[in-house]
Amino acid sequence: MSAVIDKPDSLLYDGADWDYDQIKRVYDAIEDIALKDMGLNVYPNQIEVITAEQMLDAYSSIGMPLMYKHWSFGKHFARDEMLYRKGYRGLAYEIVINSSPCISYIMEENTMTMQTLVIAHAAFGHNHFFKNNQLFQQWTDAEGILDYLEFAKSYIAQCEDRYGHHAVERVLDAAHALMNQGVHKYPKKRSLDLRLEQKRERERQEYQEQTFNDLWRTVPKVAIGGNRPSKSVSERKKLLGLPEENLLYFLEKKAPRLEHWQREILRIVRHMAQYFYPQKQTKLMNEGCATYTHYTILNEMHRRGMISEGAMLEFLHSHTSVVFQPEFDDQRFSGINPYALGFAMMQDIQRIAETPTDEDRYWFPDLAGRGDGMGALRDAWANFRDESFVLQYLSPHLMRKFKMFSVRDDAEDPYLLVENIHNERGYRGIRKLLARQYDLGFLEPDIQIVDVDLAGDRKLILHHRVTNGVLLDESDAKAVLRHIANLWGYEVQLVEVSALSDAILKEHAVTAPSGIGG
């Protein structure tokens, strides 16, 4: 005789299937816990359900809902779709956009439990981090990004109609090649306002149309090497604002041959690069915040009887897969999983704040025993990036739990040396070395424009300051230099110099091409 088990009245849903009424009930329950119990502060949410193919499409256009056309997006879509169809890779459960309203995409193939998880993870975890972290406040404009994307897509489409698809694609190819070197790394006095950027573009175009006079085309040009007064190198650099590390910005402002529309495309790509710059510096913290948020919310929902035992088991199966960290000698090891370390550090901060040990009090005197674990987490989420977060909060307890150690691998030494082990000196060394792995200043090449004589041969000179002994790949460097030369219109030289001695290590040069500009 089979028993009939009635569904408790307090359950928000039962089974894998979902509908929009259930999602609404679940969203309201998650919002209540996130805002009241956890004290999160979020942008208004917009939840959109999409198919697997739409998720692949979002992958290809770097997750943005309105994106201009470029061949590389189609290439990424074809690659990801092939891998997905053959079962070589899965898809993310969600994509979330740093905007106001904060847009979260959830897949229609997800079960109701997975929809619950990703709403908690994206619509409240990531959302809170986007709104409150100081890097995002300095560098992004959540209120204006969607309008700016619409403007960018429309503007580039108009350029394709007017100047031709190939001409626009050449500018985009060059700009995309320089995206990593197209950001301001230090905040300016004024915060970014993308709506104001649209207004300024319209004003620039109107001014050009009103002041255009074709007679200027007939004025004789001063020949290169003519009787112009020469300036000293220091004066020349000061006038041009050199050295300049934002290559896209310099080319947009100073490239002699670029047309107005080409400069505007560089400006669009530069703003996109700047928009993603904080995300590159906070992946560990952002994913740790979102994972901790969904874990806390789902556990609280289960404690209140809102989800069933089966739903909880399904959630825990997914959660433990996400935060799984293989051992260093495991074939699956590919570095430290940011979800695993981020989530573990969030839990550890709460533990230190609420139930510290004597070791915690020694290492974290300001945090240990403060009693408000959630408040400590909100402070950390607001005021740190990955590098400083690891330096500040990685504890000896967690280093032991992850079995961390450091190895010095010298190419000239036939033996490996274990330099840092589990003692006080070793803990500090491990923490410092791990933090450096999240430092973009160490991971990305330091390339700056250092000189150009606009009254002379106009050769653009760049320096790569080598800080870790690793030179640029020859083929990649030449390919990117060709893109720079296409934008600049004249010869480009890249010199790799030692950051310690200023000694020249290697030189790359690309002669003057036909150029993108007129």
pLDDT by 10s per residue, the chain, length 518? 444 344 455 899 999 999 999 999 999 999 999 999 999 999 999 999 988 777 776 655 555 666 767 656 655 556 555 554 545 444 456 788 899 999 998 989 899 999 999 999 999 999 999 999 999 999 889 999 889 988 998 999 999 999 999 999 999 999 999 999 999 988 665 555 666 666 666 666 665 555 544 544 445 544 444 445 556 788 888 888 899 999 999 999 999 999 999 999 999 999 999 999 999 999 999 999 999 999 999 999 999 999 999 999 999 999 999 999 999 889 998 899 999 999 999 999 999 999 999 999 999 999 999 999 999 999 999 999 999 999 999 999 999 999 998 887 777 778 877 777 788 888 999 999 999 999 998 889 999 999 998 888 999 999 999 988 889 999 999 999 999 999 999 999 999 999 888 899 999 999 877 667 65
H helical segments located in 33-111: 52-60, 71-85
Q: Which residue has the tokens 């994913």?
A: 287
Residue 54, classed as helix, strand or coil, is helix
- State the amino acid at position 170 in one-letter form: R
- State the amino acid at position 285 in one-letter form: M
Q: Which residue has the tokens 């929809």?
A: 115
From 107, 96, 156, select the one nearest 130 (Cα to Cα): 96
Residues with Cβ within 8 Å of 68's Cβ and at least 6 positions away in sequence, in order, are: 152, 153, 156, 157, 172, 268
- Say how many Å lie between the first and final Cα of the chain, rounded: 86
Instruction: Sort 10 into a burial class: Cβ within 10 Å, 0-12 / 13-18 / 19+.
Output: exposed
Alpha-carbon distance of 280 to 187, in angstroms, equals: 16
Dihedral angle sign, alpha carbons of residues 191, 197, 200, 201: positive
Q: What is the pLDDT of residue 172?
A: 93
Residues with Cβ within 8 Å of 286's Cβ and at least 6 positions away in sequence, in order, are: 126, 129, 133, 279, 342
Q: Do residues 462 and 493 lie in contact, with contact meaning Cβ atoms separated by under 8 Å?
A: yes
Residues with Cβ within 8 Å of 49's Cβ and at least 6 positions away in sequence, in order, are: 105, 106, 107, 108
Per-residue tokens: 197: 């950027």
**Dihedral through CA 278, CA 281, CA 285, CA 291, nearest 10?**
70
Helix (H) or strand (E) holding 294: helix 283-303
Question: Which residues lie across from 492 on neighbouring strands?
Answer: 460, 510
Helix (H) or strand (E) holding 493: strand 492-498
Alpha-carbon distance of 483 to 122, in angstroms, equals: 37
Q: Do residues 237 and 451 lie in contact, with contact meaning Cβ atoms separated by under 8 Å?
A: yes
Cis (ω within 30 of 0) for the bond into 101? yes
Alpha-carbon distance of 180 to 273, in angstroms, equals: 7
Q: Tell me how many helices (H) and strands (E) the chain has.
A: 22, 9
Alpha-carbon distance of 55 to 413, in angstroms, equals: 48
Give the Å distances, CA to CA, from 449 to 8, 133, 384, 433, 459: 67, 31, 30, 30, 11
Per-residue tokens: 298: 């789902």
From 96, 112, 31, select the one nearest 311 (Cα to Cα): 112
Q: What is the pLDDT of residue 420?
A: 72
Cα-based angle 260, 266, 268 (whole degrees, multiple of 5): 105
Instruction: Sort 515 into a burial class: Cβ within 10 Å, 0-12 / 13-18 / 19+.
Output: middle
Q: Which residue has the tokens 């569904």?
A: 7
Please count the other Cβ atoms lying within 10 Å of the Cβ belonging to residue 466.
19
Give the Å distances, CA to CA, from 414 to 108, 229, 409, 419, 421: 54, 59, 9, 15, 21
Alpha-carbon distance of 131 to 102, in angstroms, equals: 9
